[in-house]
Structure 1
């Protein structure tokens, strides 16, 4: 691809300030009644916080000279002032400041004169001592009259403490909590891990496929179609804003570049807290947060899909830029990235053609994340967030349809005559998300968070020859979704050990899916490369979906070892559609279809609930149990598209008598155990889900689209994680996922297995990491995907559940990072052993022209500079 790369823009990564936890399962915050600065020995300065109870702390370095120490479940109760400041306490320390960062947590800021301070934190009979060795002489403490206003911080993946690791999760409960206090399975992929995995692939679905138990393996494409979460479709959020649509396009995870992401929180299993569209769980993408100190970072990359078998054609590059800072009460952030990719090659050296699923080759990707916030008072904040993501693909290779052979599997080959597409609007995805957040940390004793949002997305597929299908044209689908909404959360403490979270959600989504029709004669004469649009029909009719939810959630610390939680949610859907014409003239049975369907609306509501418990067996081991219900609307376009097939009445009218549009209610049962020692952490969980009216996708008779069946559906499985910090140099660990599922279609007495598009094979991820020298680290990671043979089993129509058996495969990746100058140089090799294999998503395709191999050995080279 010959292009002039856009101006270098990248980001600076600063370890982000942690959110201090107002955990609902703890007792009243510990008071800090006095702050003393003492000199102990000849060369040690000690900051002593006088408090009657042990405190939990975690540290975050900011820039090259500042250290934040955040202390959970504490309140300043000083005799003079609401904060303390010590200026120039020694030659090496320029400033020490203690403030009440949040109502139930405080922050200690230590700024070095020239370098990052090194501290040793310990508990003493008087309270918490922060020792600064070799810091020189003592200065005086100066109380400050009011606490300093501060921006909303991000939640780090994990931060070291004197007691081990703290992992904070906001998604499971819509408030900030220690992950160990949540009675269900969660995974947090933090900034450091995202940055490391993006060296291999700058595609968020692939990053999560490698790191999240319960989620299907990487597909190496923009689609997460074969990446279910526990066998069901998850809801995808960006900072709490739902970016997924009722109309599934399976590209929700590719709505933001990894460099704009601070962390990803995954709650596995349905949730009544967030309500709609979360039958498989929730994937909340939390974006980068503004910094108190001006920071900037630039990153340049070559790759990350540079094939050693064809460097010239596979060459790609990217740039990223990050700016953030604070001016008085105002803070800002700008993270922008641009990337171009070339062709992709498999391990046999063959070019990988682009099929129906959008690949990641020949892409131009642009992402910009911008934030502006202001702290009106120490307790009130307003922030505007804008995220814009744009993928455009100009594939010079498309699949050759002549490779289709129903008797055996044949690897997809590109058309020899193909060239770059001549198309006005290139295939890809454009996504815009806006949100305005207001928070008040102490509104009549409660914490209030209010969010208004707007989301607009357009997805365009690659045009194909559909003349042999019901579409009878050279055409492509366009998916358009526009959504507005609001969320209100109020957290109200009822006592020292009882907390109530309550609120409401509202969203209104308008959905369209037109069918672009192209001139067939121009298509034929150009060899399948030129497309001139001549008409537009509908693939599914436009419709609106309005949702409203109200919820309440109680958390109770029943005893020192037992915590209980439970809540209710009321959810209501209203779908409305105008009169529309039916696509096509005859149905699959050869009967004439009515010219028009009379529009109308379908409404339904229900109440779902959840209960959970955690019991601390010891300080290191806890067990949990959880029951949670999810409530979702079916994908209406799959029913409206060919609604006459589902009803016998003529004329056809959209109303509540059409039972296929009933909601999806999923019951989720889960038990698990977690362990957390100084060097070892593990988790093990088992789950079972059941829905009386599930929604399962089946290929249409001619294979040109998917239809939906409403039938009893169940999934079940086991997930496990383990990590071991052998010493300061060596770490190792991994994750394990086994999921299975089946359904009972109408007319079948027993359950039959679900397809591999819905249930992915066993997945095992292993890693070993070594800090080879103080400035050089290396990581090897292994991904094992098992086999799954459902091709010998038949569905209700007598067709194989999978078109072919799913074959197992193994990949090995290597990441090496070296501090070089003021930046970091990273070399990453994907598929180090150059194995020839086919991703699960590719193997599930019924057409051989979609059976595309995975990447062979590819490399990426990145240099990241702080300035």
Structure 2
């Protein structure tokens, strides 16, 4: 890890806070800090409710108070998670969470247990729900075999707000943010929820509308629009959500969730590009397509605590997503995903043995197209005006079916020592459509040819067994140590692997003949299996909370992309990630809390028999957070900082670290409360982690300045919230 001198002060502050709080805590008699709060229960580790103190793994719990304090201070979901989860990378500050890894690897994100994972990992899972609708967030760090594919870095389970009473209750929220740089940098949010019901049926319905305008950097300049993965400038978001809880009897319940989420960009600014050279950012941008995500998600969960002596949980869900991109080389894609899933779990206790087992299944269907923009109009406008003249296929259609069985058990050896283990066996079937290479489709659409051979599709099958074993020992009722081994599995994006071909020149009839290709029959894509190890310690007392873990994970394969086509060239070469994460907080007095967290991570790729630093376009960077909070009956204030450290890979690509400070707070009024915040308190000028990654990933396309996505300058937020 490389650290600039400019980043040392925050690092030393964070370390000093951690050392000081730990020293103070250890000097106090343990009996003074006997926990008086109820055990925090989570479902993220074992699919059924379990106390964190019983889990042999690193679990983070973000409660409603933390979430509310952060979003009322102006933070997005990605920023909230980055501020509260030590091993989650800093936020992109944009629409994408690509490269925002958990313990250096991809994470599985769920809403009420419904996975947002798809065969095409488009990395917009954190642009999926407004924090106004979130009750709590559970995070399991590290690879897990419990959930199967997509969870090699860990799992984030977002729990939505539900009606907590049968009395009619309303919650209203209005918020505004601005950096006062220009007349078009004002953002606002309106939210309203209604909840209530009867003893048997309770429901909550909510609507959130958010509109953002221009983002300006610390120098007062408009932030360069992100043409690769998408920013949230000039964006309108609607989050409509309904939850219904039905108590059929004392033992039987049904929980229903319906969400419509629509996040669409309509920016007047674009990149002025002449002769494939980026000139500057200008107004006058018009396009038939821009970045956007539209999602419909439905789920129904049935639980019964008395089914042949078992507790039964069954969840069925449907998710449909339509995701679009902004113009890039005079074209833009639309990618749609339909996912149907069914999860079942049965739990039973046999004395000192607790058993959970069940079956999961899903069907994931993916399609895409590419809008081609009129080159004459685009060239004459410097690529600011984009009008569609044709649509072609972007990737081959993919249908993934999966069924898996799992079993998980924990045994209490003694009152203080337990062992937990389990196994998951998963079968996956991929169906790939025949597909004419995208480059050839573009030529035909432009009139340079009539027809072409298709790259053959077909079917591929994968079977994988995933094992986990952990043990935990209670040193005291408040303190535990643990060790854990778990396996995870990933399947690289099949749409970006298959369907690539080399063709001869068009013959006299305008037909392109396929010469060689990456097809299903000739080149089955390898799966990626990860072995993860960790040891950890935590203590949760009335004044002190501390958790830390050291980990090591190694996968048998990794994905290699072609920098020019951005398609997958190969799935090969071992990858390893290791490091440590920690968080400590301490109540110095009844009103004053201080804390710090950090993540030290090293990511390496094996090439030609030696381990090299992973590309800066993919690798996680180490980070550190620290905060001081003051809490009274009417007033809450917190000053916090976040540092991303420098990173340099074996090819001398660099990520430059930065430190940003924020202020968040709230004040209780006779009716309702005011929330406020100052993001980027000291107006730091920096390029976001994503902006720096994009310059590396897309370096063969445009000049680096075209991807210089900067952080927003000092921004003020003020809001009002009332429950009645």
Q: TM-score of the superposition, structure 2-length normalised?
A: 0.88
Distance 1:413 1:808 in 2: 27
Describe the shift of the 1:438–1:586 C-alpha distance in structure 2 as closer, same or farther (beyond 3 A): closer
Residue aligning to 1:730: 592
CA-CA distance at 1:253 after TM superposition: 1.6
Are residues 1:298 and 2:179 paired? Answer: no
Deviation at 1:201, TM superposition (A): 3.6
Of 617, 630, 633, 2:488 maps to 630
Other-structure match for 2:669:
820
Aligned residue for 2:415? 560
Verify the 8 A CA contact 1:761 1:785 in the aligned structure 2. yes
Q: Any idea what the Cα deviations from partners look like across 1:328-369, whole Å, max 9, x if unmatched?
A: 411111121001111011111111121223112111010011
> Structure 1 731/402 Cα, relative in aligned 2: closer, same or farther at 3 Å?
farther
The Cα of 1:789 is off from its aligned counterpart by: 1.7
Provide the residue aligned with 1:789 in structure 2: 648
SS across alignment from 2:271: coil
C-alpha deviations, 1:101-144, integer Å up to 9, x for none? xxxxxxxxxxxxxxxxxxxxxxxxxxxxxxxxxxxxxxxxxxxx
SS of residue paired to 1:236: strand
Matched, 1:382 2:254: yes
CA contact under 8 A between 1:610 and 1:627: conserved in structure 2? Answer: yes
| Separation (CA, whole Å) in 2 of partners of 1:298 and 1:838 | 35
Change (3 A) 1:445 1:865: same
* 1:164–1:503 CA distance, 2 compared to 1 (3 A): same
Q: 1:493 aligns with which of 326, 329, 349?
A: 349
Change beyond 3 A, Cα 1:453–1:643? farther
1:749 aligns with 2:609: yes
Deviation at 1:608, TM superposition (A): 1.2
Q: Which position in structure 2 is the counterpart of 1:274?
A: 147
Q: CA contact under 8 A between 2:500 and 2:517: conserved in structure 1?
A: no
**Contact (CA 8 Å) 1:202, 1:257: kept in 2 or not?**
no
Q: CA RMSD in A?
A: 2.3
Partner of 1:541, secondary structure, is coil
The one of 677, 680, 684 equivalent to 2:541 is 677
Counterpart for residue 310 of structure 2? 446
Is 1:602–1:654's contact at 8 Å kept on the other side of the alignment?
no
Q: Distance in 1 between matches of 2:622 and 2:557?
A: 26
For residues 681-830 of structure 1, the aligned pairs below 5 Å read 681-695=545-559, 697-700=560-563, 702=564, 709-745=571-607, 748-771=608-631, 773-790=632-649, 793-794=650-651, 802=653, 805-830=654-679
Q: Is the Cα contact below 8 Å between 1:208 and 1:215 reproduced in 2?
A: yes
Contact (CA 8 Å) 2:273, 2:383: kept in 1 or not?
no
Higher helix content, 1 or 2: 2
Between the aligned partners of 1:638 and 1:670, the Cα distance in structure 2 is: 33
Judge conservation of contact 2:642–2:659 (CA < 8 Å) in 1: yes
Deviation at 1:643, TM superposition (A): 6.0
Shift of 1:188: 1.4
Q: Are 1:603 and 2:475 matched, yes or no?
A: no
User: C-alpha deviations, 1:625-680, integer Å up to 9, x for none?
Assistant: 000001222211121142669xxx96658446524x12211100011111222211
Aligned to 2:437: 582
Deviations 1:410-444 (A, max 9, x none): xx98523x324242x54211111110111101112
SS at match of 1:309: coil
CA contact (8 A) 2:67 2:136 kept: yes
Give a deviation string over 1:517-541, Cα, whole Å, max 9, x none.
Answer: 1211222344433322221222211
1:177 is displaced (CA, Å) by 1.1
Instruction: Give a deviation string over 1:770-797, Cα, whole Å, max 9, x none.
Output: 02x431121100111111122xx23xxx
1:723/1:327 CA distance change after superposition, 3 Å? same
| Matches for 1:526-675 after TM superposition, within 5 Å | 526-585=381-440, 595-642=453-500, 652=517, 654-655=519-520, 658-659=523-524, 661-675=525-539
Query: Do 2:666 and 2:676's aligned partners in 1 also have CA atoms closer than 8 Å?
Result: yes
- Distance 1:569-1:657 versus aligned 2 partners, 3 A rule: farther
For residues 434 and 344 of structure 1, do their structure 2 counterparts lie closer, same or farther at Cα, with a shift above 3 Å needed?
A: same
835, 844, 847: which one pairs with 2:684? 835
Q: Tell me: CA distance 1:413–1:815, structure 2 relative to 1, closer, same or farther (3 Å).
A: farther
SS at match of 1:244: coil
Which 5+ residue runs of structure 2 have no aligned equivalent? 1-32, 443-450, 504-513, 696-703
Whole-Å separation in 2 of the counterparts to 1:586 and 1:329: 57
**1:163-174 map, 5 Å:** 163-164=36-37, 166-174=39-47
SS at match of 1:429: strand
- Counterpart contact for 1:429–1:458, Cα < 8 Å: yes
Select the residue among 267, 281, 289 that pairs with 1:415.
281
The aligned residue for residue 701 of structure 2 is none
Equivalent-residue separation in structure 2 for 1:653 and 1:226 (angstroms): 27
**Equivalent residue of 2:610, what SS?**
coil
- Residues 741 and 607 of structure 1: CA distance in aligned 2, closer, same or farther (over 3 Å): same
Separation of aligned partners in 1, 2:200 and 2:37: 34
What does the per-residue CA deviation read over 1:246-286, in whole Å, with 9 as the maximum and x for residues that have no partner? 21111112111111111111111111111121111111111
5 Å matches for 1:404-483? 414-416=280-282, 418-423=283-288, 425-464=289-328, 466=329, 474-483=330-339
**Contact 1:818 1:825 (C-alpha < 8 Å) held by counterparts:** yes
Q: Which moved more, 1:593-602 or 1:618-627?
A: 593-602
Is the partner of 2:419 in helix, strand or coil?
Answer: strand
Per the TM alignment, residue 309 of structure 1 is displaced from its structure 2 partner at its CA by 2.7
Rounded Cα–Cα distance in structure 1 between residues aligned with 2:711 and 2:409: 47
Unaligned runs of 5+ in 1: 1-159, 406-411, 467-473, 588-592, 795-799
* Aligned 8 A contact 1:352 1:413 in 2: no
The 3 A distance-change label for structure 1 pair 704 and 560 is: closer
Q: CA 1:607 to 1:388, structure 2 compared with 1: closer, same or farther past 3 Å?
A: same
Q: CA deviation at 1:808?
A: 1.6
- Alignment partners' CA distance in 1, 2:46 and 2:478: 23
Rg: which structure is higher? 1
In structure 1, which of residues 197, 208, 218 is the aligned counterpart of residue 81 of structure 2?
208
Q: How many residues align?
A: 664
1:199 lines up with 2:55 in the alignment: no
Measure how far apart 1:290 and its partner are.
2.0
Could you say if the C-alpha distance between residues 402 and 556 of structure 1 is closer, same or farther in structure 2, counting changes exceeding 3 Å? farther
Aligned-partner SS, 1:843: helix
Change (3 A) 1:401 1:519: closer
Q: Does 1:849 align with 2:706?
A: yes
Distance, in Å, in 2 between the alignment partners of 1:278 and 1:816 is: 34
Where relative contact order (Cα < 8 A, 6+ residues apart) is larger, the structure is 2
Q: Which residue of 2 aligns with 1:346?
A: 217
Q: Does the 8 Å contact 1:609/1:628 carry over to 2?
A: yes
Would the aligned equivalents of 1:246 and 1:277 in 2 still touch at CA under 8 Å?
Answer: no
Cα 1:516–1:777, aligned 2, differ >3 Å: closer, same or farther? same
Structure 1 residues 549, 225: closer, same or farther in 2, change over 3 A?
Answer: same
| Residue aligned with 1:540, SS | coil
Asked if the contact 1:394/1:420 (under 8 Å) is kept, the reply is: no
The corresponding residue for 2:236 is 364
